[in-house]
Structure 1
Amino acid sequence: MRHQGHTSGAQNVLWLALGRPMVATVVATAATAALADEPPAPPNPAPLTQLAQANPGAPATSVAAGMPDMNSPLIKVEKNRVNLPEPTLSSQAKSQGLIGDSHLNLLWRNYSDYMEVSNSSHRHAWIQGVQANYESGYTQGLIGFGFDASLFAALKLDGGKGAGNMVHVGKDGDGQNQLAWAYPGMYDIKGRISETVLKYGLQIVSNPFLDPHDNRALPPTFLGASLVSKDVKDMSLEAGSFTKVDARGHTNLSSLSTSYGGVKFSRLSYFGGSWDYAPSGTLSLYADQADDIWRQYYASVSHSIGDPRTVKWSGMANVYSTHDTGAARQGHINNNAYSLTLSAQHGASGLLLGYQQVLGDQFFDYVNETNGIYLSNSMDVDYNAPHERSLQLRYTLDGSYLGVPGLRAMLWGVMGWDADASAGAAANASASSPLHDLYWKNGEPVHGRHHEIGFVPSYTLQSGRFKDTKITFMAMWHVGQAHYSDSNNMEYRLVVNLPMKVF
């Protein structure tokens, strides 16, 4: 912050006596010159005799010396005046109304994917998707009201029967032969007070439990209520309760379920928030409950020091603690999982080392259709088997330091070991158990080692008619031993996102 220098009392008085008339003259002359072709003539300061006439109560000797009487009421008022900062208006106080702040944006996404799973399926798909997202403003007043509505649509350009949810999936689980589909992807009503927003409807939220898994032509959305407040400086607080999901590839609502266990449940509720305790440091704490499945707690802390022009160091720790609750429909759960990362960036290049471990006899699980696993080594696969340890080495490239803004690239490798699901397999030994296939692989309890490598370059256009268009290529290869839960696979993906602002 710049600090203003302090002037002496005599200088202040001289400014009050001489400076204000001079400023007025300069402003008036400059305003006239703005319409003329020639520069203005320098202003003529008012003679001291005119100053004396403007303040007849002042002694002539003082005026002649350029020193007005310090007892003048005008001088006292100006000397004691305190210039208070303008109050900061909240988002609701600055509202331009329901229509005035409304926006309509389009996102065109061309998505193609090719994947081979060893001794199993082959899938490929090429889809053109579009999201038309309308967001109204808020009515003016202490409490503002508004609504949002989005239309999602997709056209299948190619896609075989094994494409799964990359193309349309009907209510019966089939429907891959459908050529095109459209549906209301999001809709909600909303209210706002100051910096606090409450929404109810089909929407997208982002937190450690319900972050949408947006890796298809169209994203999943969730039905429920959400509350986000940023009224406390440097803090973001949120809560929510959701009951349904419009899954990737689907056009209808369905029940929430767990990602690995596949167990359905009626409601997920959460609360928590984050605090920017320093310009480069953030602390987050959250808790959630999947009814009759689990209670889950999440904490993270991240901090950075230094500068990329020399070396910028960044560290982050994430931890989840999961425990069964209610009817425990996914069985006994007593599981902790954490990850630690340390990274260094010098100029365009960055290097990250990440360690992750699961402590417990169960898989670390999360809500299906979400990316609710904020652990560092969740890349192509999640490295979340019971007792598993994993280590990642990642290189990143930021083209802005090379004179190519918009260019990004990431290259990584992850290795996992010590997976041991024998306790979970014993508890689900019967083939009729809904969790049998999760804990058993090729006739034995899940165990073994595995590894992956991946490469993701991307480029975002910086100017022109298609500015902000992002082109991303992804290549990933995963290799595991015969009894590890994730099979060998290779995947290639090309995604082009083209945003358009209508108004």
Structure 2
Amino acid sequence: MQALAGIAAACADEVPQVAQQATTPNAVVGAESALTGKPPAPHSSQAGSAGRVADSRLDLEWRNYTDYFHADGSNHRHAWVEGLQAKFESGFTRGPIGFGVDAALFGALKLDGGDGAHNMVFIGRHGDGEHRTAWAYPGMYAIKARISESLLKYGLQDVSNPFLDPHDNRALPPTFLGASLVSREITGLSMQAGSFTKVDARGRTNLTDLRTAYGGVAFKRVSYAGATWDYSSNGSASLYADQADDVWRQYYASLQHGIGNVRSIRLTGFANVYSTHDAGAALQGPIRNNACSVSLSAQHGPNGLLIGYQKIFGDQFFDYIDETAGVYLVNSMNVDYNAPHEQSLQLRYTFDGKYAGIPGFSAMVWAQQGWGADASAAQRNANGPLGSLYFRNGQPVHGRHHEFGFIPTYVVQSGRLKNTKITLIAQWHVGSASYSDSTNQAYRLLVTLPVRVF
């Protein structure tokens, strides 16, 4: 997910020269991911192909992942895992149509973690396996074809859009099996389409069915299409739609615009909305839900301040596809603030060291409050497959809750360890007796070392 890239584009002087994927000021998922902040993908032009071998590359990424989580009265976990990704990307054959292949080998070594660690470590085919010490598997494999500025790919891959965006917050990321098309034939316009059927989930070495994150309902295929338009150097708009077979149709729209300069003050506004409606056999029951968020950020030099508001309109939880960060809402931070009718407000401070003579260092602190959740309409379906989701301690989900968080990050700027990224994540959530998320504390340390072999 390019979550922090959205903030960077909004707050910095520099802006992308080609249309990027839809982004969001949701920052926690991006900060957890060691891949966050990677430079924008280059313009994929077949006219500039130097050949399948000459343009090939091999990258290694070593990730040290430690996690501690405590939830009052229920769940405790701890994990320490070393992950390694070896990714090979071939170039494209020359000519009007170029062909190539991608492949990646993923491996992990568990140093700590057992029962309760779940997908922080290893999950076997039958949900067991938490005591396995090491595992390896093909994390990606795909064939690809390129015509002009359009790239078609089929296989196990990562993608980036408001519905399918790998939730890369473990030692190894999830990947998805299917076909994707990205086209940038028009300057400033990025168009996408795809269809996916399986996921290689975090902590697993085998493919499983796609399923919804909150409802837990499995389905056979999700298909999507959409576009992001950089209508000026300071603004972009996105429009996407998807269908999870026999579960829902979902629509997404966003608008982002910035004015000013960080050396004086730069203001950036962002608004987005999801609209979800049941489809086909409606395996997750009736769904009619709209979720929206708006934010305004201001940056002067290294200091930034953001205020974000989010609202759920509907009797259902706002849901998305499991193993994804497909919830591009500003207040989806430690928890999602996505209960029926819930509202939330966030205040966030960010520090960008490059404007203070500390290149590579950044930090984020936030506080957030949620209120107005009301799942009482679920009483009519209390005996249904999702009845337990809407009830807590014998009552329909309701009540207030709040959270705090702190994330400092440093990227080494030079020397043999250049581009090594160190991220500390500390999050505290306080839930009420009848809210769906419990009181919990989470602490993570991620150290990532990328190496270009060739």
TM-score (norm 1): 0.81
Alpha carbons of 1:90 and 1:212: their partners in 2 closer, same or farther (altered >3 Å)? closer
- Residue 144 of structure 1 deviates from its aligned partner by 0.2
Partners of 1:326 and 1:401 lie apart in 2 by: 52
Does residue 95 of structure 2 align to residue 141 of structure 1?
yes
Partners of 2:164 and 2:190 lie apart in 1 by: 16
Aligned to 1:181: 135
Aligned to 1:451: 402
Contact 2:51/2:94 (CA < 8 Å) preserved in 1?
Answer: yes
Please state whether the residue corresponding to 1:100 is helix, strand or coil.
coil
Partners of 2:452 and 2:417 lie apart in 1 by: 11
Residues 74-122 of structure 1 deviation map (CA, whole Å, 9 limit, x = unaligned): xxxxxxxxxxxxxxx9721111111010000000000000000110011
The one-letter amino acid of 2:382's match is A
Does residue 158 of structure 2 align to residue 204 of structure 1?
yes
Residue number among 327, 340, 349 corresponding to 2:294 in the alignment? 340
Residue number among 473, 488, 496 corresponding to 2:424 in the alignment? 473
Residue number among 413, 425, 428 corresponding to 2:381 in the alignment? 428
- Alignment length (residue pairs): 412
Residue number among 424, 431, 447 corresponding to 1:496 in the alignment? 447
Aligned to 1:122: 76
- Residue 434 of structure 1 deviates from its aligned partner by 2.0
Matches within 5 A, 1:282-321: 282-321=236-275
Residue number among 100, 118, 126 corresponding to 1:172 in the alignment? 126
Partners of 2:247 and 2:114 lie apart in 1 by: 35
Matches within 5 A, 1:3-18: none
Aligned to 1:42: none
Please state whether the residue corresponding to 1:381 is helix, strand or coil.
coil
Partners of 1:457 and 1:229 lie apart in 2 by: 35
Aligned to 1:400: 354
Partners of 1:90 and 1:254 lie apart in 2 by: 31
Partners of 1:462 and 1:300 lie apart in 2 by: 34
Does residue 362 of structure 2 align to residue 411 of structure 1?
no
Gaps of 5+ in 1: 1-88
Partners of 1:236 and 1:333 lie apart in 2 by: 30
Aligned to 1:52: none
- Residue 162 of structure 1 deviates from its aligned partner by 0.9
Partners of 1:149 and 1:286 lie apart in 2 by: 28
Does residue 206 of structure 2 align to residue 255 of structure 1?
no
Partners of 2:48 and 2:86 lie apart in 1 by: 26
Does residue 397 of structure 2 align to residue 440 of structure 1?
no
Partners of 1:313 and 1:440 lie apart in 2 by: 41
Residue number among 174, 193, 217 corresponding to 1:220 in the alignment? 174
Residues 435-478 of structure 1 deviation map (CA, whole Å, 9 limit, x = unaligned): 02210111010000000000000000000001000000000000
The one-letter amino acid of 2:118's match is G
Contact 1:428/1:439 (CA < 8 Å) preserved in 2?
Answer: no
Please state whether the residue corresponding to 1:93 is helix, strand or coil.
helix
- Residue 160 of structure 1 deviates from its aligned partner by 2.3
Aligned to 1:195: 149
Residue number among 108, 125, 142 corresponding to 2:62 in the alignment? 108
- Bigger proportion of residues as helix: 1
Contact 2:66/2:445 (CA < 8 Å) preserved in 1?
Answer: yes
Partners of 2:337 and 2:382 lie apart in 1 by: 23
- Bigger proportion of residues as strand: 2
Aligned to 1:388: 342
Gaps of 5+ in 2: 1-42
The sequence identity of aligned pairs, in percent, is: 67
The one-letter amino acid of 1:468's match is N
Partners of 2:367 and 2:325 lie apart in 1 by: 20
Residues 380-432 of structure 1 deviation map (CA, whole Å, 9 limit, x = unaligned): 000000000000000000001110100000000110000000112x13212xx
Residues 267-299 of structure 1 deviation map (CA, whole Å, 9 limit, x = unaligned): 000000100001010000000000000000000
The one-letter amino acid of 1:457's match is P
Residue number among 106, 116, 120 corresponding to 1:162 in the alignment? 116
Extract structure 1 runs of 4+ deviating beyond 2 A: none
Please state whether the residue corresponding to 2:354 is helix, strand or coil.
helix
Partners of 1:154 and 1:258 lie apart in 2 by: 26
Please state whether the residue corresponding to 2:160 is helix, strand or coil.
coil
The one-letter amino acid of 1:157's match is L
Matches within 5 A, 1:60-75: none
Contact 1:146/1:189 (CA < 8 Å) preserved in 2?
Answer: yes
Contact 1:364/1:385 (CA < 8 Å) preserved in 2?
Answer: yes
Aligned to 2:224: 270
Contact 1:473/1:495 (CA < 8 Å) preserved in 2?
Answer: yes
Partners of 1:129 and 1:170 lie apart in 2 by: 17
Q: Which has the higher contact order (CA 8 A, sep 6+)?
A: 2
Aligned to 1:367: 321
The one-letter amino acid of 2:381's match is N
Please state whether the residue corresponding to 1:400 is helix, strand or coil.
helix
The one-letter amino acid of 2:368's match is V
Pair member with larger Rg: 1
Please state whether the residue corresponding to 1:479 is helix, strand or coil.
strand
The one-letter amino acid of 1:499's match is P
The one-letter amino acid of 1:474's match is I
